[in-house]
Structure 1
Amino acid sequence: MLRPAHPADYPAIAHVHNTLWPEHFRSLEDFAHLDRHNPVRRFLLELDGPVAVAGLRDRGAFYEFELGVLPGFEGRGLGRELYARLLGELEALPPKRTLAFVKESHPYALAFAARRGWRESLRGYHQHLGLAAFDPAPFEGLRRRLEAEGYAFHSYAALPDPERLYPLLRQTYLDVPRSGEAEPLSPEEFRRRFVLHPAFHPQTSFVAVREGEWAGLSLVRRRGESGLHSAMTGVLPAHRGRGLATALKVCSILEARRLGFAELHTNNAAGNAPMLAVNARLGFVRGPARVELELTKESLWT
């Protein structure tokens, strides 16, 4: 049975999502927070229990097309049924870019999308680091050099100042590789996606300060019971090339390990070579690519 989903269905929705995308884990609180701020039309397909979920989310600059079928239930036409339902919802909306995300390691899903007019617009990599095995010794000289140059590193829990954090994040956020046009981060988005996000973790989020100027940041969220997610790392242009991004991430890693967390996760676009190189030096392990697809059939709105 195909039916609209409701907040009471969050456990089933999270189960499907986290089974298919364990590297992009979402808690029930994550779903509730996201749905409050980015409206979604979501549907469940049940066969003696929920086995597939589809959603069409308004992300502001674009619509996000979400569709997932649990392992063991593929090949029964469930994806086609959900896709047709979402397409009907999409056709009734004002025209806007429409994106979806598929794993590179799922060729069937990529072929399914390609046959329906979706084309690759960006790809990125999930990376994870086991904290117990991290060796800080190779980076101790970097921290000493930066401190000698006048930089100080503070956890956001010790220096909670959204009025200073916002302009730094707003400027560095524009440099994040993306497929569409970069849009400035609004104060509302800053609060929703970072400092007021239910998973934001101030203790392992760090800023670099020099002579009173906030020069760089690394912002972290909780991820399940024992993990963290590095959501954003950025350095102002005038302070780049010194190793600040690496030093900030090392601060987060060491504090996370001290607090008992087991893993740190992150995502980067394939074109973000500098940050991918930083993560590789720190020991992050790269997983299969996540492919961003854009719906190219303009006939939807003609």
Structure 2
Amino acid sequence: MTVIVRDLRPDDRADAEGFTRVRDLALPFVLTTPDSVRHVLTRSHPAARFRVLVAEADGEVIGAAYVGLVHESPEPGQGFLNVYVRPDRTHRGAGALLVRTGEEHLAAVGARKVYSWVLDEPGNRAFAERCGYRTGRSAHSLRLDLADGTLPPLQDPPPGVELRTAADFADDPRPLFELDAETASDEPSDIDYAFTDYEAWLEETWRHPLQAHELTVVAVVDGRPAAFSVAYADGKGRYATAMTGTARAHRGRGLAKLAKNASLHRARAAGCREAFTSNDTGNGPMLAINRWFGYEICATEVRYVRELG
């Protein structure tokens, strides 16, 4: 059986479906759809030099990878390579071929470091270390049963705070971009981020096919977004929190928890059956909030890094 690695063909629905199947099996706690795969491939900023790779054997997609540069980082030369292989199709060389192809691409476009998220399981970690990667920070993925579980009761916002949805900002989402840029820069990470390109944010983030603007809740103070909980939904009963954060000037008031609670209630009312989120293992405040909601850890990933020669 010969395994080949090639670029995903964005106009080939079967390719996107094959990628989605692989990622669903490898990372069932991450929302992926064929439309979202095609979106990140065709709408990514040119400076990201982004590619979606698939590993194919006998006409079947058995592995896949996202690879590119972190163009939002003020430090040049930061690359990412996230590899996924169907759990029932391992030990066929797909993972190693995806890693080699991805690293060759990154080296060619000027990457000096490669970061990769790896499931915290012995086989996955051993594979990353055989490929020359060293361990870094980690993150928990968490799941909440929306169908049969319970949520904290809805709370009235405090005086001077209004709860809106992202849909209310459809005519001018720039205030949400500004809040996203501020909160993202404070997220625990191996890489610093600086979101400055509003048009790119509109294309890549605001118009992402998983974005659920009616489920995203924004806490507004004096007419400006002060905190938000950004929702994704796949149309199949699954919901995920893409970001929850508060502007620095309004932290310590419980606004992020207020927004997320309202978002979760909206998601359940819309028919979502389960909710997912992810937190850096060192992000104690957000982990505490999610425990308060009833989330339970369902997986842990480790961020590995390799220096390119």
Q: Quote the offset at 1:93 in angstroms.
A: 3.0
CA distance in 1 between counterparts of 2:100 and 2:248 reads 46
193, 215, 218: which one pairs with 1:207? 218
1:46 and 1:282, CA in 2 relative to 1: closer, same or farther beyond 3 A? same
1:154-233 equivalence runs, <5 A: 154-160=164-170, 161-233=172-244
Task: State the shift of 1:226 in Å.
Answer: 0.8
Work out the CA distance in 2 between the residues paired with 1:33 and 1:122: 28
Q: 1:23 aligns with which of 22, 29, 35?
A: 29
Q: How does 1:1-302 map to 2 (within 5 A)?
A: 1=2, 2-5=4-7, 6-7=9-10, 8=12, 9-38=15-44, 39-40=50-51, 42-47=53-58, 49-60=60-71, 61=73, 62-104=78-120, 106-136=121-151, 138-140=152-154, 143-144=155-156, 146-147=157-158, 149-160=159-170, 161-296=172-307, 298-299=308-309
SS of residue matched to 1:25: coil
Give CA-to-partner distance per residue, 1:244-277, whole Å, 9 cap, x none. 1111111101111111111221111112111111
Matched residue of 1:157: which SS?
helix
Query: Which AA in structure 2 matches 1:26?
Result: T
TM-score (norm 1): 0.87
Cα distance, 1:154 vs structure 2: 1.2
Structure 1 unmatched runs, 5+: none
CA distance in 1, matches of 2:221, 2:5: 55
What's the TM-score once normalised by structure 2's chain length? Answer: 0.85
Deviates more, 1:113-122 or 1:276-285: 113-122
Q: Separation in 2 of the partners of 1:213 and 1:67?
A: 39
Q: Is the 8 A contact 1:18 1:24 kept in 2?
A: yes
Q: Is residue 155–residue 205 contact of structure 1 (8 Å, CA) maintained in 2?
A: yes
Name the aligned partner's letter for residue 17 of structure 1.
R
Q: Matched residues in 2 for 1:52 and 1:232: separation?
A: 27
SS in 1 for 2:177: helix
C-alpha distance in structure 2 between counterparts of 1:186 and 1:121, whole Å: 29
**SS of equivalent to 1:75:** coil
Amino acid at match of 1:13: F
Task: From the superposition, tell whether residues 85 and 199 of structure 1 become closer, same or farther in structure 2 (CA, over 3 Å).
Answer: closer
Partner Cα separation in structure 2 for residue 82 and residue 177 of structure 1: 28
Matched-pair identity in %: 25
State the distance in 1 between where 2:256 and 2:165 align.
14
Letter in 2 for 1:15: R
More helix by share: 1
What secondary structure, in the 3-state scheme, does the structure 1 residue paired with 2:208 have? coil
Instruction: Confirm or deny: 8 A CA contact 1:43 1:55 kept in the other structure.
Output: no
Of the two, which has the highest radius of gyration? 1
Displacement of 1:159: 4.5
Deviation at 1:139, TM superposition (A): 4.6
Query: In 2, distance between residues paired with 1:159 and 1:50?
Result: 39
Whole-Å separation in 2 of the counterparts to 1:210 and 1:87: 46
C-alpha deviation, 1:195, in angstroms: 1.9
Q: CA deviation at 1:41?
A: 5.4
Q: SS state of the match for residue 102, structure 1? A: strand
Q: Does the C-alpha gap of structure 1 residues 224 and 21 become closer, same or farther in structure 2, counting only changes over 3 Å?
A: farther
Structure 2 unaligned blocks of 5 or more: 45-49
Following superposition, the deviation at residue 279 of structure 1 comes to 0.6
Q: Output one character per residue of 1:18-44: Cα deviation in whole Å (capped at 9) or x when no partner.
A: 111111131011111111133205242
The number of residues matched between the two structures is 292
- Matched-pair contact (CA < 8 Å) for 1:17–1:68: yes
Per-residue CA shift, 1:182-215, capped at 9, x if unaligned? 3234313421343211221111111112232321
